[in-house]
Structure 1
């Protein structure tokens, strides 16, 4: 009898759809999106026994509300909420060693890329960190805003802006993010690593699969995942 190997971890997969798209093709009036098709063909258990927890997130403007359709379609209203929901799903379901895979189309691609960048910037929030989620999310969104009063950041020692320009400003942005992440880690609000019998490992994103990538009104300001860059590069 053939035996099935049982994986030591699970895989978290999030499928983020584009504007006006939902998993039923607008109540059956339109064909299913490619994101929906991917979501539905993914197995809940792989051949090696690894369990897969799969989340589908509908696109902005996909509700029955005419106002939501208009504001979501024209202005991308709801993207912040989508990013928060996907990020929260990963934080609350992740266990040491899990794989993280993000899939997205159009503004769903923006959501996927933004979540990946947030994980790279602030890590995965702990249960204590999630109690401060909105404050941390607001800090994350304004991390590169040189005009924002440093005193409003959750981190009381956030790196202030001293008029840096060009390459010096780019370095300031990177240093500020690193310093903020260290403060979160020191206060047990987030984690970037996990430890097992083989040592300490970084919490990495296995893959980001996106196409027709845009932001709310164009290309998102978030740096490409895996690169130490800034919105000015």
Structure 2
């Protein structure tokens, strides 16, 4: 049994195996000539291989310590600062050299001050690492995207996360601000999907570190109902019902609790599409109600979630105040009611659907409504801790089962920025994931990235990630918003545009001018303003 850890977090646990005609002293991680597993992408600073059981807490505690090479159970140790061509030198006496294929070596200043140097970058052309057979792998990566084993069983998505899940051991770390970026995908969307959603693109394009070396740590979570769910029933339930929502919200919350540094005044960015948009909005609400737990209080997470889901009690009730004071991180603020509630720099959503975050996909059956009742938004208003919120909304979504859930400004924060902007296209055109609608989904992606850049988040928009990650907005892209199949049973209706202040993106005006046949019914009252004669 091999366990693969990245930055102290378990990302895979599998029985590694090889064909009989291969040397059984080796195991391969990544692309090989007999499997279809994915390539490594990103950067790594060192690899540790153990053949003895170690607790995750031990790995997290030790991952910033330089090893001597003679530790009990350590069978290979590659700091990746010594090597030549495709060989990584082993610092143990076992002389288990690592063979690294398709990689380039580079000297780089790390965003986290460790003794590590010369990370190996595994680019799009791909690579693999050969390791001693059936090890327990502890992988410490400075900046990583995806690590997979070559087992032929169904694989689970790894997280786009470069997070350090333990307190750094060097004092210099504590004052270094970092940006924590949580990206939650929509139902049935994942990294391995045939075409990436805007959430995947956003996550991939965030720089590992800003130009001033500020770390930017991305935590990607695939949507419910994906291959991460173990069977067909769970996958279908994750889509039609709220199965998996509790787990995903707590996963994202745990990541922030373990990584947010109050003294450094870290910044939090939350983005999501569809169900993922609902999840990040819930996450913001949970932070407002419960604060972010201190690491020493992380075992209180189940209680925090239970409190969050109790919508009958005000977040300012004595019970919540005591919980925050006893368990949550305290920030320096002049507003007493915000002392235990960390701010959220940005909340970005692509087309939040339904009061439950779940489309009513079985319109004649009330079971899904009853099952999902506990997930209903208790208040569409944003939490006052959200500093900037952006919501891309589909103009042309006509399925009654896909009503938009608006964002409302919270009057407790008069400086709160809320932009709710309408874009051409149906639900999928807004959040991406369909290649033929790319021209429209890239319009919303560019808008979201531009707004994030204004707040300080930095992106790598070069061509290094390939053609599908290039942003190419095309407002006149054709789409099909006919309501058919199961959704036709729920009926159709144009989404009402009720707000007194309606923001329509410029790409919509461009489409209106280019195509005289494009006249959505919900925009008809606004045409005179949008297309002045």
| C-alpha distance in structure 2 between counterparts of 1:31 and 1:180, whole Å | 46
Q: Does residue 213 in structure 1 map to residue 352 in structure 2?
A: yes
| C-alpha distance in structure 2 between counterparts of 1:183 and 1:109, whole Å | 30
Q: Does residue 133 in structure 1 map to residue 272 in structure 2?
A: no
| C-alpha distance in structure 1 between counterparts of 2:325 and 2:214, whole Å | 33
Per the alignment, residue 8 of structure 1 pairs with 176
Please give the root-mean-square deviation of Cα atoms over the aligned residues, in Å: 2.5
Per the alignment, residue 275 of structure 2 pairs with 107
Correspondent of 2:203 among 20, 34, 39: 39
Per the alignment, residue 191 of structure 1 pairs with 329
How far does residue 217 in structure 1 lie from its aligned partner after superposition? 3.2
Change (3 A) 1:19 1:66: same
Runs of at least 5 residues in structure 2 that lack an aligned partner in the other structure: 1-108, 112-174, 334-338, 360-375, 385-409, 413-533
| C-alpha distance in structure 1 between counterparts of 2:303 and 2:288, whole Å | 18
Change (3 A) 1:114 1:209: same
Change (3 A) 1:186 1:208: closer
Do 1:104 and 1:211's aligned partners in 2 also have CA atoms closer than 8 Å? yes
How far does residue 44 in structure 1 lie from its aligned partner after superposition? 0.4
How far does residue 184 in structure 1 lie from its aligned partner after superposition? 2.0
| C-alpha distance in structure 2 between counterparts of 1:186 and 1:209, whole Å | 29
1:50-97, CA deviations, whole angstroms, 9 ceiling, x for partnerless residues?
Answer: 111101000000126211221011012101110000000000011120
Per the alignment, residue 382 of structure 2 pairs with 224
Per the alignment, residue 222 of structure 2 pairs with 58
How far does residue 194 in structure 1 lie from its aligned partner after superposition? 4.2
1:112-137, CA deviations, whole angstroms, 9 ceiling, x for partnerless residues?
Answer: 11111111111111124322211221
Correspondent of 2:237 among 41, 60, 71: 71
How far does residue 16 in structure 1 lie from its aligned partner after superposition? 0.3
Per the alignment, residue 432 of structure 2 pairs with none
Change (3 A) 1:23 1:175: same
Per the alignment, residue 23 of structure 1 pairs with 191
How far does residue 33 in structure 1 lie from its aligned partner after superposition? 1.1
Do 2:199 and 2:271's aligned partners in 1 also have CA atoms closer than 8 Å? yes
How far does residue 216 in structure 1 lie from its aligned partner after superposition? 3.9
Runs of at least 5 residues in structure 1 that lack an aligned partner in the other structure: 146-171
Correspondent of 1:89 among 248, 255, 263: 255
Q: Which has the larger radius of gyration?
A: 2
Change (3 A) 1:89 1:216: same
TM-score, normalising length: structure 2: 0.33
Change (3 A) 1:185 1:74: closer
SS in 2 for 1:125: coil
SS in 1 for 2:236: helix
How far does residue 32 in structure 1 lie from its aligned partner after superposition? 1.2
Do 1:103 and 1:209's aligned partners in 2 also have CA atoms closer than 8 Å? yes
Q: Which has the higher contact order (CA 8 A, sep 6+)?
A: 1
Q: Does residue 118 in structure 1 map to residue 279 in structure 2?
A: no
How far does residue 182 in structure 1 lie from its aligned partner after superposition? 2.3
Do 2:187 and 2:225's aligned partners in 1 also have CA atoms closer than 8 Å? yes
Change (3 A) 1:123 1:192: farther
Q: Does residue 180 in structure 1 map to residue 319 in structure 2?
A: yes
| C-alpha distance in structure 2 between counterparts of 1:35 and 1:70, whole Å | 21
